Amino acid sequence: MHNNPTSTERALAEGHLRFDKSGKAEKIVYVAVNHAERWSDPEEKVRAEFYAELIYKYGYAPQRIGVEVTVPDRSPNDFADLVVYEDDAHKRPFVVIECKKDGISDAEFNQAVEQAWGNGNAHKFRAKFVGVVAGGTRKFLDCSDKYGARERDKNVVADLPKRYEDLPEYVFRKGVSTEWQDIRRVS
């Protein structure tokens, strides 16, 4: 590992993720929920990195993060890539995340936003937030009742809340303790 390990590397080092090389294809295992996926899939690298960010950046417990969760009332079966729950029993979804490989088109990204919204909204998971992560391209939406079912602009939030707290007013601020959020002069 290099000086600044990625969140995925840290999660591997600390045992939240592990590689399984026992079969034909190498798999990444999400240890807390004992779920494995093929590591060669580019979307999987995005999911593993964001899964680790949910633990380290946002402060969610690994045992409260579901992976490839069956979406209620969807036929044929549809799956949400990541679901953060408010409870250990996985009964109250808080955030539903759709992961896509890095570098997708705007049209593909917008379709993923609709997929995340469809999975997270009132008749499915009833989550408070949904999001799409495609590498560095991200969009998070507030799913509360104060927005209409077709709203996709006024309900955009700057970032997900940390540890179930209130939404941050700003993602980047001068003088904050976390290096990635601090605004400072550049050359």
Query: For residue 73, what is the domain's CATH number?
Result: 3.90.1570
Least confident residue range of 43-47, 99-103, 151-155: 151-155
Burial of 39 (0-12, 13-18, 19+ CB in 10 A): middle
In this predicted structure, the answer to whether residue 180 has a pLDDT above a threshold of 50 is no
Indicate whether 1 belongs to any domain: no
Q: In terms of residue numbers, what domain contains 152? A: 7-164
pTM of the predicted structure, to 2 decimals: 0.85
**pLDDT-above-90 percentage for the chain:** 59
Sheet containing 35-38: order of strands: 17-20, 27-30, 35-38
d(CA 67, CA 65): 7
d(CA 186, CA 58): 27
Indicate whether 186 belongs to any domain: no
Burial of 106 (0-12, 13-18, 19+ CB in 10 A): exposed
Q: What is the pLDDT of residue 179?
A: 54
